[in-house]
Amino acid sequence: MIENYIKGKFKSSIKAKEKRQAIKELFETTDQPPPVLNKVYARERLFPTGIGHGVAIPRYIGEEVKEITLVLGLSKVDMEFGALDHKPVKIIWLLLSPDHDKEKYTEILIRLIRLANTEEFKSQVPNLTSYEDLIELIRDLDK
Protein backbone atom coordinates (compact mmCIF):
# COMPACT_ATOMS: atom_id res chain seq x y z
CA MET A 1 0.00 0.00 0.00
CA ILE A 2 2.73 2.52 0.96
CA GLU A 3 4.69 1.70 -2.18
CA ASN A 4 1.83 3.05 -4.30
CA TYR A 5 2.58 6.57 -3.11
CA ILE A 6 6.37 6.64 -3.40
CA LYS A 7 6.39 6.64 -7.21
CA GLY A 8 10.15 6.56 -7.65
CA LYS A 9 10.78 9.19 -4.98
CA PHE A 10 13.77 7.89 -3.05
CA LYS A 11 17.03 9.63 -2.18
CA SER A 12 19.61 7.15 -0.91
CA SER A 13 21.97 9.93 0.13
CA ILE A 14 20.62 13.31 1.17
CA LYS A 15 23.23 16.04 0.71
CA ALA A 16 21.68 18.35 3.33
CA LYS A 17 23.31 18.70 6.72
CA GLU A 18 20.31 19.98 8.67
CA LYS A 19 16.56 19.43 8.92
CA ARG A 20 15.24 22.37 6.90
CA GLN A 21 17.60 21.67 3.99
CA ALA A 22 16.75 17.96 4.09
CA ILE A 23 13.02 18.67 3.91
CA LYS A 24 13.60 21.00 0.96
CA GLU A 25 15.76 18.43 -0.82
CA LEU A 26 13.02 15.80 -0.50
CA PHE A 27 10.30 18.31 -1.43
CA GLU A 28 12.13 19.19 -4.64
CA THR A 29 11.59 15.63 -5.90
CA THR A 30 7.83 16.22 -5.87
CA ASP A 31 5.58 18.12 -8.24
CA GLN A 32 3.78 19.89 -5.41
CA PRO A 33 3.29 23.68 -5.60
CA PRO A 34 6.07 25.68 -3.86
CA PRO A 35 3.82 27.16 -1.12
CA VAL A 36 3.39 23.64 0.29
CA LEU A 37 7.05 23.62 1.35
CA ASN A 38 6.44 26.63 3.60
CA LYS A 39 3.47 24.81 5.12
CA VAL A 40 5.70 21.83 5.90
CA TYR A 41 8.24 24.15 7.55
CA ALA A 42 5.50 25.86 9.60
CA ARG A 43 4.11 22.53 10.78
CA GLU A 44 7.60 21.33 11.69
CA ARG A 45 8.20 24.45 13.81
CA LEU A 46 4.99 23.85 15.77
CA PHE A 47 5.19 20.07 16.05
CA PRO A 48 8.59 18.45 15.42
CA THR A 49 8.24 15.19 13.51
CA GLY A 50 11.00 12.98 14.88
CA ILE A 51 9.16 9.83 15.93
CA GLY A 52 12.14 8.02 17.45
CA HIS A 53 14.37 5.16 16.32
CA GLY A 54 16.28 7.54 14.02
CA VAL A 55 13.17 8.32 11.94
CA ALA A 56 11.33 11.56 11.17
CA ILE A 57 8.14 12.05 9.18
CA PRO A 58 7.78 15.72 8.25
CA ARG A 59 4.29 16.05 6.88
CA TYR A 60 1.49 18.34 5.83
CA ILE A 61 -2.14 17.88 4.90
CA GLY A 62 -3.92 20.72 3.10
CA GLU A 63 -5.99 21.76 0.14
CA GLU A 64 -2.92 23.03 -1.78
CA VAL A 65 -1.50 19.51 -2.07
CA LYS A 66 -2.27 17.95 -5.45
CA GLU A 67 -2.08 14.28 -4.48
CA ILE A 68 -0.72 12.06 -1.72
CA THR A 69 3.04 12.10 -2.04
CA LEU A 70 5.59 10.08 -0.10
CA VAL A 71 9.36 10.53 -0.39
CA LEU A 72 12.07 8.65 1.52
CA GLY A 73 15.48 10.17 2.10
CA LEU A 74 18.49 8.71 3.89
CA SER A 75 21.12 10.87 5.53
CA LYS A 76 24.72 9.99 6.30
CA VAL A 77 24.79 12.66 9.02
CA ASP A 78 22.75 12.86 12.20
CA MET A 79 19.95 15.44 12.10
CA GLU A 80 17.94 16.96 14.91
CA PHE A 81 14.17 16.56 14.41
CA GLY A 82 12.99 16.87 18.01
CA ALA A 83 12.54 13.11 18.30
CA LEU A 84 10.60 11.71 21.24
CA ASP A 85 13.59 9.56 22.22
CA HIS A 86 15.98 12.53 21.77
CA LYS A 87 18.03 10.55 19.24
CA PRO A 88 19.24 11.99 15.93
CA VAL A 89 17.52 11.15 12.66
CA LYS A 90 18.96 9.58 9.51
CA ILE A 91 15.75 8.21 7.94
CA ILE A 92 13.32 10.88 6.71
CA TRP A 93 9.92 10.31 5.15
CA LEU A 94 8.18 13.36 3.64
CA LEU A 95 4.40 12.82 3.56
CA LEU A 96 2.05 15.26 1.82
CA SER A 97 -1.69 14.86 1.39
CA PRO A 98 -4.69 16.80 0.15
CA ASP A 99 -7.49 17.46 2.64
CA HIS A 100 -9.87 15.08 0.89
CA ASP A 101 -7.54 12.08 1.46
CA LYS A 102 -7.34 12.25 5.26
CA GLU A 103 -8.16 8.57 5.74
CA LYS A 104 -5.42 7.40 3.36
CA TYR A 105 -3.01 9.91 4.92
CA THR A 106 -3.73 8.53 8.39
CA GLU A 107 -3.36 4.95 7.22
CA ILE A 108 0.00 5.71 5.55
CA LEU A 109 1.24 7.54 8.65
CA ILE A 110 0.29 4.61 10.89
CA ARG A 111 2.05 2.16 8.54
CA LEU A 112 5.19 4.32 8.44
CA ILE A 113 5.30 4.47 12.23
CA ARG A 114 4.77 0.72 12.44
CA LEU A 115 7.61 0.13 9.94
CA ALA A 116 9.92 2.47 11.86
CA ASN A 117 9.44 0.33 14.96
CA THR A 118 10.59 -2.91 13.34
CA GLU A 119 14.17 -4.09 13.71
CA GLU A 120 14.23 -5.28 10.09
CA PHE A 121 13.35 -1.83 8.79
CA LYS A 122 15.82 -0.01 11.05
CA SER A 123 18.65 -2.36 10.11
CA GLN A 124 17.97 -2.67 6.36
CA VAL A 125 16.87 0.82 5.30
CA PRO A 126 20.23 2.56 5.82
CA ASN A 127 21.80 0.13 3.33
CA LEU A 128 19.28 0.67 0.53
CA THR A 129 20.69 2.07 -2.70
CA SER A 130 17.82 1.71 -5.17
CA TYR A 131 14.13 2.44 -5.45
CA GLU A 132 13.51 -1.20 -6.37
CA ASP A 133 15.18 -2.42 -3.16
CA LEU A 134 13.08 0.02 -1.13
CA ILE A 135 9.84 -1.22 -2.68
CA GLU A 136 10.83 -4.86 -2.12
CA LEU A 137 11.63 -4.17 1.55
CA ILE A 138 8.35 -2.33 2.10
CA ARG A 139 6.36 -5.11 0.46
CA ASP A 140 8.08 -7.64 2.72
CA LEU A 141 7.51 -5.70 5.93
CA ASP A 142 4.24 -3.81 5.38
CA LYS A 143 1.78 -6.67 5.66
Decide if 9 contacts 72 (C-beta within 8 A): yes
Dist CA 61 CA 38 (whole Å): 12
pLDDT tens digits for 32-89? 999 999 999 999 999 899 998 899 999 999 999 999 999 999 999 999 998 889 999 9
Model-level pTM? 0.91
Which residues have CB under 8 Å from 51's CB, separation 6+?
57, 83, 84, 113, 116
CB atoms within 10 A of CB 126: 14
Which residues have CB under 8 Å from 88's CB, separation 6+?
54, 78, 79, 80, 81
Mean pLDDT for the stretch of residues 114-135: 86
Between vectors from CA 139 to CA 135 and to CA 143, what angle results, nearest 5°? Answer: 150
pLDDT tens digits for 81-113? 988 899 999 999 999 999 998 899 999 999 899
